[in-house]
Amino acid sequence: MKNVILGLFIVLVGLGWWGCQQKQEPKQAELPKGHPDIQNPHAGQLSYQVPKEWIQEEPSSSMRLSQYRLPGVQGKADAVMAEFHFPGTGGTVEANLQRWYSQFKQPDGSPTGHHAQRKEVEANGMKVVVVYVTGTYLQSPSGMMMGDVVEKPGYAMLAAIAETPVGPWFFKAVGPKETIDHWRPAFEKFVQTFKMTQ
């Protein structure tokens, strides 16, 4: 009798374990059609190819997706390029350009935006606004023009804003004018590699 009871107990435990395994391991085919890929929850990403001479480094702020150092030339300091993307936020192209222009001042006191060289290009079907400005860079430790600002004359900014289906993607390089001017052709080629991936 004990052997029968023990046998039934083993069978029941086995059936319970098998049932749990069936619940814990759903097959991919059982997911509804159109189920989002859990490995890539975002609607899309911007891919690009960075010039091999640019040095990737740890972003100095949690707001930056990536950061690259553009080696200095003619004895000048390196420039730094940062990448930003704020899904669902981030402001318009114009609002961001005006904010970036305000980080520079001109010798005659005129608005930096009046001196900006701006053009719109197309990269793999998307519109990209590219701007170049020079002047005295007002460097803030926070990057938000708060706290002590260090004035750096003879600086330049080269920036690109890509308009994508998931919001604008921002790239901003700042450094001595000589360094920025040296890397300007490479930056423009870099912009042409922008491509949305699924």
In a domain, 135, yes or no: yes
Cβ-contact 149, 138 below 8 angstroms = yes
In a domain, 40, yes or no: no
Question: Quick one: average pLDDT of 4-8?
Answer: 46
In CATH, what number is assigned to the domain containing residue 72? 3.40.1000.10
Percentage of the chain modeled with pLDDT above 90: 66
DSSP conformation class of 147 = S
Report how far residue 2's alpha carbon sits from residue 22's, in angstroms, rounded to the nearest whole number.
31
Please report which residue ranges of 25-106 form alpha helices under DSSP H: 93-101
CA 58, 188, 133: angle at the middle one, nearest 5?
80
In a domain, 36, yes or no: no
- pLDDT tier at 144 (50, 70, 90 boundaries)? low
Residues, the chain, total?
198
What's the confidence (pLDDT) of residue 28?
A: 33
Number of domains in the chain: 1
In a domain, 148, yes or no: yes
In a domain, 81, yes or no: yes
- For residue 23, pLDDT over 50 is answered with no
What's the confidence (pLDDT) of residue 143?
A: 53
DSSP conformation class of 88 = T
In a domain, 123, yes or no: yes
Min mean pLDDT across 14-23, 27-36, 52-61, 72-81 is at 27-36
- For residue 115, pLDDT over 90 is answered with yes
Nearest partner of 139 among 174, 180, 187, judged by Cα: 174
Residue 134: which domain range?
A: 47-197
In a domain, 63, yes or no: yes
Q: Which residues contact 144 (CB under 8 A, 6 or more apart)?
A: none
| Tens digits of residue pLDDT in 71-114 | 999 999 999 999 999 886 667 899 999 999 999 999 999 999 99
In a domain, 2, yes or no: no
Instruction: Characterise 167 by phi-psi region: left (phi > 0), alpha (psi -120 to 50), beta (else).
Output: left
| Tens digits of residue pLDDT in 160-187 | 999 998 899 999 999 999 999 999 999 9
